[in-house]
Chain A
Amino acid sequence: MSRVGLVVVSHSAGLAEGVVEVAAQMAPDVVVVAAGGTEDGGVGTDYDAVTAALARADSGAGTAVLYDLGSARMVAEMAVELVDNARLVDAPLVEGTVAAAVAAQSEADLAEVVHAAEDAAGVPGLTAPDTTVAPPVIGDVDLMGSMKVAAVDSAAPAEATITLTNEIGLHARPAAMVARAMTTLDATVAVTFGDTTADGRSVLALMALGARGGDEVTVSATGPEAQEAVTTFQEMAARNFED
């Protein structure tokens, strides 16, 4: 299956290429094309380069186009209007491109890739403890929370506490690996480190946990494939996320 391609439109060639470099690290099979700077290497945007990048990035599943500032949006918009199956994405450039790349890597369709990128603003999927459902203080409260979750989902929730043994912990590549795996499962997965809980499907939220080698994280899942989600995470962690 072909994957959604990405185009990074920036005023600067260096900036566009840097963003592509970061995204490519986390999504090795996604075509991410840089279109930065003007024709003569200056600061600005080059419509013809964006059009060419769109053609290169599309392998049949469509293209998501991310941009940095003002004229980059307009140039990207004009280029997108002239092709089929391309979408302009309103998202922060670095976070949006990374989130889009990870979604594309896991073979999400164009709408899902765009959604993943747009969601990247402010790292949704990352919740502080006081906004989570069940504060783990008193037994009764915890039990109530668990019962509610169990009533909604068809399978029992699963949970495991895992010590990360790879050096970088849930950093970029491991986080992307986890997010990709969790996206394929029919389960809602939460990864908690310290006071913070991340959506297991959000690479940016997982990275934002800041869990390093030696740290302990708790993986809890609900939904039909909850147990598989937890087991998958455990297995990946046991293999040091193939570091």
Chain B
Amino acid sequence: MGRAGADGRAAVGELTVGCTAEDVATAIRAVAATVAEHRVELIQLDRAIGDGDHGENLDRGFKAVVAALDESIPDSPAAVLKLVASTLISKVGGAAGPLYGTAFLRASAAVKDCAELSPSNVVEALTAALGGVVARGKAVVSDKTMVDALTPAVEAAKGDTVAAVLSAAAEAARGGAESTIPLVARKGRASYLGERSAGHLDPGARSTTLMLDAFAKAATA
């Protein structure tokens, strides 16, 4: 293991130029840390209207992602995203596995030939991720799902730098997630609760916001 000093790019941080595989891996580690930090919050949100496993499942999935990145970092941004996808699909035992797994898989496919991600590549990746979540989960806006956070995030994802794109997306995701509070769930486990699902923040919309937030902070750092 170890870095072996191979690629000669020293720092994360100069993201105005573009994100390398290393940068994407660093951002993914930041997402994993955020998920771990908010594990209990996500469990509590999910316990209110779902089966209570969202925080635990996501945390397990991202811990496995970090373990895989510790082994070795794939050599392109797309390959890093694909590693995240396959690990989440395998290790997350709930709906978040196939949903986020498909999101990362589609994002990976959208940027598959890029050595570095430009701001517009990031927009393309986010757009593809939303497409994946919608295709897999069949949810639309106002169903009280992660789509309610990711849709406005993609719409708002604009800017001259990767950090600007991701910050705008994260900000919009936050608003989208909050908009789920009064909604009655029409997809997922919460939909079995009918009217009783109203009045609660959707855990999937919350985790989407947390992840985008972590990406934005990593890009700004």
Contact = CB atoms under 8 A, between A and B. Distances in A.
Contacts of B99: 74
A48 B90 contact: yes
A45 interface: yes
A74 B90 contact: no
A38 B93 CA distance: 6
B101 A44 contact: no
A172 interface: no
A77 to B, nearest CB: 7
A69 interface: yes
B95 A78 contact: no
B89 A78 contact: yes
B53 A74 contact: no
Interface string B135-153: 0110000000000000000
A107 interface: no
A178 B164 CA distance: 68
Nearest to B190: A70
A39 interface: yes
B97 interface: yes
A47 B64 CA distance: 15
A45, A47, A78, most chain B CB atoms within 10 A: A47
Interface string B22-45: 000000000000000000000000
A43 B89 contact: no
Nearest to B189: A70
B189 A69 contact: yes
B52 to A, nearest CB: 10
Contacts of B137: 74
Given A74-B99, A78-B89, A45 B189 contact: no
A173 B97 CA distance: 39
Contacts of A70: 95, 188-189
A47 B105 CA distance: 15
B94 interface: yes
Contact of A44 (B57, B90, B136, B188): B57
A240 interface: no
A77 B136 contact: yes
B89 A71 contact: no
A95 interface: no
B98 interface: yes
A38 B64 CA distance: 15
Nearest to A42: B93
B189 A44 contact: no
Contacts of B91: 39
Interface string B181-220: 0000000110000000000000000000000000000000
Interface of B: 51, 53, 57, 89-91, 93-99, 101-102, 136-137, 188-189
7 contacts: A43-B51, A46-B93, A71-B93, A71-B94, A71-B96, A75-B98, A78-B98
Interface of A: 38-39, 42-48, 69-71, 74-75, 77-78
